[in-house]
């Protein structure tokens, strides 16, 4: 199965979840996603998702100076983003439960 297609459908939720406990800049968020097991996620996909979520009003941003190069743009969940994370998380859990049920081998009597 091509996991890149699955990832496209859940990348918004994954990015929101990666920001749940701590603000982060683009590459930091990408690193979090990859270390969580989403190794196939692409740089451009994450940066595009961050822009889209920001434009949708789910994230706020702020800039932090960096001694190691250009300033970093940090992203943070706002109230609308936390609400969307909770809503989308419930939808995902329901979907995952349905798929688990479908894939589970049925015991025969």
Q: What is the pTM of this model?
A: 0.87
Summarised one tens digit per residue, pLDDT across range 38-76 is 998 999 999 999 999 999 999 999 999 988 888 999 999
**Out of 13-17, 42-46, 79-83, which region has the weakest mean confidence (pLDDT)?**
42-46
Q: Of 106, 69, 84, give the one whose Cα is nearest residue 13.
A: 84
**Out of 15-19, 39-43, 74-78, 104-108, which region has the weakest mean confidence (pLDDT)?**
104-108
Q: Are 46 and 29 in contact (CB under 8 A)?
A: yes
pLDDT of 81 above 90: yes
């Amino acid at each position: 199965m091509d996991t890149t297609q699955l990832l496209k459908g859940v990348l918004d939720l994954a990015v929101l979840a990666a920001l749940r406990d701590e603000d982060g800049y683009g590459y930091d968020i990408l690193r979090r996603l990859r270390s969580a097991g989403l190794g196939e996620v692409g740089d451009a996909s994450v940066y595009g998702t961050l822009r889209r979520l920001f434009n949708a009003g789910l994230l706020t941003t702020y800039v932090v100076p960096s001694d190691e190069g250009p300033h970093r743009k940090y992203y943070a969940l706002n109230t609308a983003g936390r609400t969307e994370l909770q809503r989308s998380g419930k939808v995902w859990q329901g979907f995952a439960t349905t798929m688990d049920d479908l894939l589970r081998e049925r015991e025969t009597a």
